[in-house]
Amino acid sequence: LNCNTDLSWYDHVVGCGIEGAEATSLSRECCRDISIDETLPKMVKQFASVFNCDVV
């Protein structure tokens, strides 16, 4: 999950074999800086909910 990533590294990759497809990040899509520290607790909570498990 790209939170706030230098997307220039993806300029040399054809994602999923789709020509012209671009990588993106949460920061780019939300038009604000989003850190891993902000994202991780929400992702862990959602993961635990979807997979019905306790994350330790």
Does 56 map to a domain?
no
Does 11 map to a domain?
yes
Residue 24: how many CA atoms within 13 Å on its side-chain side? Answer: 9
Torsion sign, CA atoms 16, 25, 31, 38: positive
Give catalytic residue positions.
Answer: 16
Inform me whether the pLDDT recorded for 1 exceeds 90: no
Mean pLDDT score across all residues of the chain: 94
The number of domains in the chain is 1
d(CA 19, CA 9): 16
Does 55 map to a domain?
no
Task: Give the pLDDT confidence of 17-43 residue by residue, as tens digits.
Answer: 999 999 999 999 999 999 999 999 999
Range of the domain at 24: 7-50
Inform me whether the pLDDT recorded for 6 exceeds 90: yes
pLDDT for the residue 41: 96
Share of the chain above pLDDT 90, in %: 88
Does 2 map to a domain?
no
d(CA 54, CA 56): 6
Does 17 map to a domain?
yes
